[in-house]
């Protein structure tokens, strides 16, 4: 995804009316692979300020968002990944904020209608080569039931390979034993 498209998407998100009782919008842009880290200077938003987490500034960012400025919209760029929730000083703010991702895995997950959580991201990364083809992603998104867990995604991939719309283990095995080829 190019930077101009990211900026358009972010500006569109910040322009959406706020939910009731909200005074501002905070969006956390997760980029653990640091795909946009060198392009962050190009991101200028119409209705929000951009702040980047460095690993050493979590306390000052938390103070900015929780005490110093309670009315300005913020985009918080986070190239960090935390092993434990206790390590994330901004977790409480993240829980009432919005999430944004612009990496290829996130785009694919959104395209297939998959839930965005770490376990599903890991499974989609595992199938990166398989999902690289648009028709394969389409086979997953058009199945009768959208996968909600990594195990269901695994079954959905096997069902798609067998040409099935239902990711039922017995049907998948039946297709394999019949010698259904791709």
Q: pLDDT (tens digit, 9 = 90+) per residue, 92-136?
A: 898 889 888 877 787 788 888 888 778 888 888 888 888 888 888
| CA–CA separation, 171 and 48 (whole Å) | 51
Give me the half-sphere count of Cα atoms (radius 13 Å) on the Cβ side of residue 39: 12
Q: 46 to each of 8, 13, 72, 100, how far by Cα in Å?
A: 10, 11, 12, 17
Query: For residue 135, what are the contacts with CB-CB under 8 A and spacing of at least 6?
Result: none
Closest by CA to 154, choosing from 115, 127, 182, is 127
Distance separating alpha carbons of residues 167 and 144, to the nearest angstrom: 8
User: Is 71 a residue whose pLDDT tops 60?
Assistant: yes
Confidence of residue 140 (pLDDT cuts 50, 70, 90): confident
pLDDT of residue 181: 54
CB 98 within 8 A of CB 27: yes
d(CA 4, CA 10): 10
**Confidence bin at 178 (pLDDT 50/70/90):** confident
Model-level pTM?
0.66
């Amino acid at each position: 995804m190019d930077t101009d498209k990211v900026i358009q998407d972010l500006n569109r998100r910040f322009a959406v009316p706020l939910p009731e009782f909200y005074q501002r919008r905070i969006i956390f842009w997760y980029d653990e692979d640091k795909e946009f880290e060198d392009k962050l200077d190009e991101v200028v938003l119409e209705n929000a300020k951009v702040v980047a987490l460095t690993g050493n500034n979590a306390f000052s960012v938390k103070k900015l968002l929780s005490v110093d400025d309670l009315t300005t919209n913020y985009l918080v760029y986070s190239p960090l990944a935390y092993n434990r929730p206790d390590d994330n000083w901004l977790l409480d703010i993240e829980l009432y904020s919005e999430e944004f991702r612009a990496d290829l895995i996130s785009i694919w997950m959104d395209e297939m209608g998959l839930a965005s959580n770490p376990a599903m991201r890991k499974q989609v990364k595992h199938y990166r080569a398989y999902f690289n083809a648009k028709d394969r992603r389409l086979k997953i998104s058009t199945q009768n039931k959208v996968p909600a867990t990594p195990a269901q995604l695994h079954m959905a991939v096997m069902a798609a390979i067998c040409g099935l719309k239902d990711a039922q283990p017995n049907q998948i095995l039946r297709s394999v034993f019949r010698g259904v080829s791709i």
